[in-house]
């Protein structure tokens, strides 16, 4: 069973802060990836299937997910290979039923009841597919974004399995989708 869910508003606030204040989080992201050696190796293995520009983004985003667990407090143990491979198999089985990516992909995904930390994954969908592109950015590369999203899903499952929230953590027991309004 997964942990109580980190609230959606908190996840979005941390995501925005990490993106806007990269210097404040710059040392933490690689440190967290190094502490999750097996998960990091899994990401490296899968980067071979990504465009070189996307490969670096995938490591960064997995670091962001790990940082959210760290910011939530508590203890984050290192993952085992068995946990990584089990999460990968589980996610890939579910993905086969969710694809292809279309207008109802996010709704089909949100209906998967066993997801750990669904608000982290909602933020991933928002960041990878739904947010407004900033000036100068290219259009969203859906196949590459899907690959990154699946890596983030595996990482979230593994990290939640190895996270023990600190005393006083008040998460949510029930999931309800909360939309984040795009900033103008």
Instruction: Find how far residue 176's CA is from the centre of its chain.
Output: 17
Running DSSP on this structure, what letter comes out for residue 172? Answer: B
pTM (two decimals): 0.94
Nearest to 83, CA basis, from 151, 31, 157, 149: 157
CB count in 10 Å sphere of residue 101? 16
CB count in 10 Å sphere of residue 100? 8
Report d(CA 89, CA 183) in Å as an integer. Answer: 36
Q: Return the domain boundaries, the chain.
A: 8-164
C-beta separation of 62 from 156 below 8 A: no
Q: Give the number of C-alpha atoms closer than 13 A to the C-alpha of residue 139, restricted to the C-beta side.
A: 3
Instruction: Return per-residue pLDDT of the chain as tens, 184 residues.
Output: 689 999 999 999 999 999 999 999 999 999 999 999 999 999 999 998 899 888 989 999 999 999 999 999 999 999 999 999 999 999 999 999 999 999 899 999 999 999 999 999 999 999 898 876 665 666 778 899 999 999 999 999 999 999 999 999 999 999 999 988 755 4
């Amino acid at each position: 069973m997964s942990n109580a869910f980190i609230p959606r508003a908190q996840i979005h606030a941390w995501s925005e802060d990490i993106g806007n204040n990269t210097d404040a989080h710059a040392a933490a992201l690689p440190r967290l990836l190094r502490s999750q050696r097996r998960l990091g190796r899994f990401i490296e293995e899968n980067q071979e299937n990504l465009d070189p520009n996307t490969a670096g983004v995938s490591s960064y985003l997995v670091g962001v997910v790990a940082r959210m667990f760290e910011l939530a407090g508590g203890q984050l143990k290192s993952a085992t290979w068995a946990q990584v491979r089990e999460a990968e198999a589980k996610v890939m089985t579910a993905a086969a039923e969710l694809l292809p990516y279309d207008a109802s992909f996010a709704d089909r995904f949100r209906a998967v009841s066993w997801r750990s930390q669904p608000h982290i994954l909602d933020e991933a969908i928002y960041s990878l597919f739904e947010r407004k592109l900033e000036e100068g950015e290219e259009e969203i590369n859906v196949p590459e974004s899907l690959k990154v999203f699946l890596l983030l899903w595996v990482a979230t499952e593994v990290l939640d399995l190895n996270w023990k929230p600190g005393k006083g953590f008040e998460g949510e027991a029930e999931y309800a989708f909360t939309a984040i309004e795009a900033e103008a």
